[in-house]
Chains A and B, each alone.
Chain A
Amino acid sequence: MLIRKRSTIAVLMVLALSLMICSSAFAADKVIKIGALFPLTGPAAVSGQNCVNSVLAAADVINKANPDINAPLAAKEGLLNGYKIEIVKADHQGKPDVAKSEAERLYNQEKVFAVIGSYNSSATKPASAVAERAKKIFMCGCSSSAALTERDYKYFFRHAPTDAIESKEFVEYIEYLNKEKKAGIKTLGLIYENTEFGKHAAEEAHKAAKHSGLKVVADVPFNNGATNLNSEVQTLKAANPDAVFGAALGGDYSLWVRTMKQVNWLPKIAINYCTGYQNPAVQKELAGDGDYFMGGMGYSPELAKTFMPEAIKIEKKYYTPRSNQPFDSDSIQEGVMLFVLAQAIEKAGSLDTEKVAQILRTEEFPSVMSLSGKVKFEPGGQNVHALSVITQIKDLDYKTVFPLKYQKAEPVFPMTPWDKR
């Protein structure tokens, strides 16, 4: 009796194992593995998880038949006659060294075709260097350090506007306010995290300010994840600049805003790079304290209504159920990069990295989730159609204030003081 029982268990185990082997072998034939390398833990984890959710949403649009969505590859199931995209998640914790080793693991052990990532510019830099050495494709959605596309890499492609583009736009906006609204903005303060991203943003801000005659009176880097930002905000307050450009991610952003409230100081205008400003979850936690700040954005639900109706469909169907919030301008760009990569694979008609990379370098791609509606990469990998607008937040609503073509509301300027809110 016991022997029969044991033999039955053994037969069942063999069957189960064979099924697993068969199914994985079957799956391996028709799957394109793509790595999603983001900070899933650490100070920028919330944003990193949103980025992964955006990539997963894009994969769902490609893998499933979505005739209701008017986007390339949406109507039919999969690509290359039946291939499905499989996303392999990896966590770099916001640390450059971990990003490098995880990129190596993704390419060498997981055998991914390409990697999408990595939010923090400081992590994107070493991870994409791994890709370049291995001659593998690296798709970067929102890392904004201009240095990333100044390396003349052949396999690196970036969607986001760089800090250089955003800095110029911020300064143009200040010039517009000075000219049209008699704003009298003459001095500038910079507060930024002491990382690849923050330092490059500050460098570009210096260049743009010099070009337009703005005087930088405070340059305040800080260590991210700090216990307090008292000295940093005191330094800003003592210099009392008319405008402040900020580059503080996640929790550091809320700490910065709350510390400014604590010392009862605000500049006339505060504009943020790709930071905690763009994250609705961070703004929700800040309640009204985040109001009247501004920032560069490539997406807002309000902008999407007019310029990206298909993005709203994708958001409702596949993104919001995962993230419980709308796309933000960082996360959406990671999904865009999967769409662009999938289109390039489809055009190449094979999984030959060289062919796909060549198409990425030369072709222009329609993109329903980009504000400009299209994507094209110049040598070095920068998207020449990268576009961002300046928004101002009030009651968790991002209103576009500049460029005038996209303007939906007049800015509240200068920012309403803390004691009058």
Chain B
Amino acid sequence: MSNFVQVLIDGILSGLLYALVSAGLSMMWGVMDVINFAHGEFLMVAMYLCYWIGEILGIDPLFSWIAGGIFLFIIGALTYKLIIKNSLGKAAMAPLLATFGLSMLLKNFCMNRFTPNFRLLSGTIMEGKTFEFAGAIVSVPQLVTAIFSLAVLLSVYWLIKKTRVGWAIQATAMDKEAAELMGIDTENIYLLVFGIGGACVGVAGGLMTTYLAVHPEVGGLFSLIAFVVVALGGFGSIPGALFAALLIGLVESFAGFYIAAVVKYVAVFAIYLVVILIRPKGLFGW
């Protein structure tokens, strides 16, 4: 029984982390129909930022995630201004290829500046902290990340559903030209969406520094899972991303423990394939 609870908790905590990493991608994809290939590298940049803040200034990731969020908001907005804006309206694949180039640039820049060494922050406030719950061990850093994830997702959801800016984002996503006729500055909306997308992944990266080693390739599998989460949950749907991420976290955890550890990603991608075949717009898609 304690094994079951442990696997369940591990799955939920992983799922909530995946949800936070995926939320930003979901917004960019949903609103702008732009696939940001550099999403995993945004995560890596945030992790490096918070790692160095911790290493040089001694500020714990429990606080430096704010810097991660702000910095990645700026990086996201700049990406839109300098890259996406110039590639939109050209060849259909142009934004995708441009962000692919950006991902290579960021990865190789970090490889060059910081070497491929694995860097792990030691002596953080939450390091190694655990507690027992129903016979299972809960990792405090992962729990805190999960709680932050829920808080950020709820905030983004509230922003989109309950504020004028959110309505403008929804209107832009539905019909850009009609939104412009209604007086919505769609340029600023796009900028904001890319900024918020970056900020979400920035917060995730900042918090992950507590328990995961940073290296130039760290974003790879996370971005792949984020793409699966967004496609599974439905493009642009925050509740969809949350549900899909939890599903993936639980499938990964249960398949990994009860079938075989080596098949956990096989199970994740199999579920994804089945859902996409049955419901191509995703579980919560429009």
Interface string of B77-121 (1 = CB under 8 A from A): 000000000000000000000000000000000010001111110
| Cβ B118 vs Cβ A264 within 8 A | no
Interface string of B206-247 (1 = CB under 8 A from A): 000001110111101110010000000000000000000000
| Cβ B139 vs Cβ A262 within 8 A | yes
| Cβ B221 vs Cβ A238 within 8 A | no
Residues of A with C-beta under 8 A to B142: 262
| Alpha-carbon separation in the docked complex, A281 to B252 (Å) | 30
Flag whether B253 is at the interface (Cβ < 8 A). Answer: yes
Shortest CB distance B61–A (Å): 15
Flag whether B58 is at the interface (Cβ < 8 A). Answer: no
Flag whether A41 is at the interface (Cβ < 8 A). Answer: yes
Shortest CB distance B251–A (Å): 11
Residues of A with C-beta under 8 A to B117: 45-46, 281
Q: Which residue of A lies closest to B111 (CB)?
A: A41
Q: Which residue of B lies closest to A276 (CB)?
A: B118
Flag whether A282 is at the interface (Cβ < 8 A). Answer: yes
Residues of B with C-beta under 8 A to A251: 118, 213, 215, 218
| Cβ B261 vs Cβ A221 within 8 A | yes
| Alpha-carbon separation in the docked complex, A194 to B264 (Å) | 13
Interface size bucket, B side? 35 or more
Flag whether A381 is at the interface (Cβ < 8 A). Answer: no
Instruction: Evaluate whether A227 and B217 lie within 8 angstroms (CB atoms) in the complex, with A234-B3, A285-B120, A286-B120 already known.
Output: no
Flag whether B163 is at the interface (Cβ < 8 A). Answer: no
Residues of A with C-beta under 8 A to B119: 285
Shortest CB distance B245–A (Å): 12
| Alpha-carbon separation in the docked complex, A308 to B123 (Å) | 36
| Alpha-carbon separation in the docked complex, A222 to B211 (Å) | 19
| Alpha-carbon separation in the docked complex, A220 to B122 (Å) | 28
Residues of B with C-beta under 8 A to A238: 3, 257
Interface residues of A in 277-306 (CB under 8 A from B): 281-282, 285-287, 289
Residues of A with C-beta under 8 A to B265: 223
| Cβ A231 vs Cβ B252 within 8 A | yes
Q: Which residue of B lies closest to A45 (CB)?
A: B116
Interface string of A213-225 (1 = CB under 8 A from B): 0000000111101
| Cβ A231 vs Cβ B116 within 8 A | no
Residues of B with C-beta under 8 A to A220: 261-262
| Alpha-carbon separation in the docked complex, A231 to B265 (Å) | 11
| Alpha-carbon separation in the docked complex, A281 to B7 (Å) | 32
Flag whether B128 is at the interface (Cβ < 8 A). Answer: yes
| Cβ B262 vs Cβ A228 within 8 A | no
| Cβ B128 vs Cβ A42 within 8 A | no
Shortest CB distance B219–A (Å): 10
Q: Which of A238, A262, A285 has the most CB of B within 10 A?
A: A262
Q: Tell me which of A45, A222, A282 contacts B262 (CB under 8 A).
A: A222
Flag whether B14 is at the interface (Cβ < 8 A). Answer: yes
Residues of B with C-beta under 8 A to A230: 10, 14, 253, 256
Interface residues of B in 133-167 (CB under 8 A from A): 137, 139, 142
Q: Tell me which of B10, B116, B218 contacts A41 (CB under 8 A).
A: B116
Flag whether B64 is at the interface (Cβ < 8 A). Answer: no
Flag whether A43 is at the interface (Cβ < 8 A). Answer: yes
Flag whether B22 is at the interface (Cβ < 8 A). Answer: no
Flag whether A27 is at the interface (Cβ < 8 A). Answer: no
Q: Tell me which of A225, A234, A285, A418 contacts B6 (CB under 8 A).
A: A234
Residues of B with C-beta under 8 A to A46: 115-118
Interface string of A239-278 (1 = CB under 8 A from B): 0000000000011001100100111100000000000000
Residues of B with C-beta under 8 A to A40: 116
Q: Which residue of B lies closest to A40 (CB)?
A: B116
Q: Tell me which of B6, B116, B211, B253 contacts A49 (CB under 8 A).
A: B116
| Cβ A285 vs Cβ B128 within 8 A | no
| Cβ B120 vs Cβ A221 within 8 A | no
| Alpha-carbon separation in the docked complex, A234 to B136 (Å) | 11
The 7 A-B residue pairs whose C-beta atoms are closest, nearest first, are: A231-B256, A45-B116, A285-B120, A287-B122, A230-B10, A232-B261, A251-B118
If A40-B116, A255-B212, A285-B120 are given as contacts, then 15 extra A-B residue pairs at C-beta distance below 8 Å, sorted by A number, are: A227-B14, A231-B7, A231-B10, A231-B256, A232-B256, A234-B10, A250-B118, A251-B218, A254-B120, A262-B211, A263-B137, A282-B118, A287-B122, A287-B123, A289-B128
